[in-house]
Amino acid sequence: MRVLLSSFVVFAACTPGQIIMPPPAPVEPPALTRVTVTPVDTTRPMSSTVMSSVSALGLSLVSGQVAVVATDGVTVRIGTTMTPVPVGPMGADALGTVRVIGRRGAASLWLTSTGVFLERAGRLLRSPISDSLPLPQVKAIDVVGEGDAETWWVRTDAAVLRVSGGALDSIALEDPNGSGVLKAVVGRDASTAVVVRGERLYLVDVAAPKVTVLAKGLGTVTQSARLGDGHIVFATADGLVRVAPSNDVSLMVFGAAAAVNDVAVDGDGALVQSNGQLFSLLVDEVKVLGDVAAPVVSGVVRDTAGAVFTLDGQTLERLATTAEEQPVVFADVKPFFTAHCVSCHRSGANYAPIIDFSTYAKAKQWAVQSLARAQNADTPMPPASSGLLRPSQYAVLARWVQGGMLP
């Protein structure tokens, strides 16, 4: 039996080999150490809305550009337009209904009702491994390693499947003290994976073979990622569960204790959504990147140009890269006044005092006071009745004021 991962030669479907793991030693794992991190709130990158009314499963990368994944297809952002990504060689493969977004190195993969699709040269191509997997039961796929060492860790409700060295195996976990649904499987390499089943976190070493309980009492897991620095992280209802390469496990809580909804790999670190905010996490340093009112799972990616995209409810938002953080001039901030302020202040509607935000001289005169009002929770501008602005939305005004209100 041979199972090919990346080549496009189709091999006959096969039944997996069985690996039954010995039960873990009945030793209670140490209690989870809880680490509260205080995020650094430096100048936030500017955010802009790329698309509204987006109905999507989440975000992916296609050729390094942000792509919106809907159940019926994938569209990629090229320049400033969203373009559908073509499927298969001349439409030979039907995409079916997209169910799951995964990652394979720096590229994406998609699990659909008809197979596993990989990206090649801007097209979605069906992988021959699709014929070997029990597709309807597959809940997630994690790909670790490259070339001959490439290994796929596949999660179904009941079993962990592994495709490695051309063989497909089903790995059965036995634990008399723990049961429940498999919630996450993240490979560390070709023979070890970190697995969440029920409320327990296991290290599974197929080569030894050995299973160790690393932690228990985990909350609901919504997302997982393997970071470039070797940590494996899980977004859970209680915070970010972080497994170090040494197998030490900690529970990271961001500021106000709250659920972590989503996590995505970002180089050696991660992008984390918790409590309405988006953070960047690198080793132990956490920075606030922006606000996310209605986070969507699989809803954050960084493109190759360094811009971060989030899916906030039905809105695709883009946060500028550091390289783009040029000094803000009046031309940058004028559209902000036009969008949020002039409806009342140009004509004096709604009893607003007349303020002319269209000329540099006048806008500059009112800038400091305007920022103070935008930041003022008691008497905000625009008034609460017409919809509060999030800090990322008035970041452009803050940066214009901080930069000395350049013409």
Residues that bind ligand HEC (CB under 6 A): 340-341, 343-345, 350-353, 366, 369-370, 373-374, 379, 381-383, 386
Residues found in the chain = 407
Contacting residues for 74 by C-beta, under 8 A, at least 6 apart: 60, 62, 67, 68, 84, 85, 98, 110, 124
For ligand HEC, the closer CB: 309 or 336: 336
For ligand HEC, the closer CB: 100 or 344: 344
For ligand HEC, the closer CB: 259 or 389: 389
For ligand HEC, the closer CB: 290 or 382: 382
For ligand HEC, the closer CB: 10 or 352: 352
Structure tokens at 282: 């690198």
Least Å distance, CB 340 to ligand HEC, is 4
Structure tokens at 289: 């990147």
Q: Check if the beta carbon of residue 263 is closer than 8 Å to that of residue 253.
A: no
CA dihedral 254, 256, 257, 258 (to 10 degrees): -80
Burial zone of 327 (CB within 10 Å; 0-12 exposed, 13-18 middle, 19+ buried): exposed
Structure tokens at 175: 């634990």
For ligand HEC, the closer CB: 279 or 336: 336
Q: What angle do CA 307, 310, 311 make, to 5 degrees?
A: 150
For ligand HEC, the closer CB: 274 or 370: 370
Least Å distance, CB 383 to ligand HEC, is 5
Least Å distance, CB 231 to ligand HEC, is 41
Least Å distance, CB 269 to ligand HEC, is 33
Distance between CA atoms of residues 206 and 160, nearest Å: 11
Least Å distance, CB 344 to ligand HEC, is 3
Least Å distance, CB 81 to ligand HEC, is 29
**Which among 247, 152, 118 is positioned nearest to 194, based on CA atoms?**
247
Distance between CA atoms of residues 377 and 368, nearest Å: 16
Report the first-to-last Cα separation within the chain, whole angstroms. 69
Least Å distance, CB 351 to ligand HEC, is 5
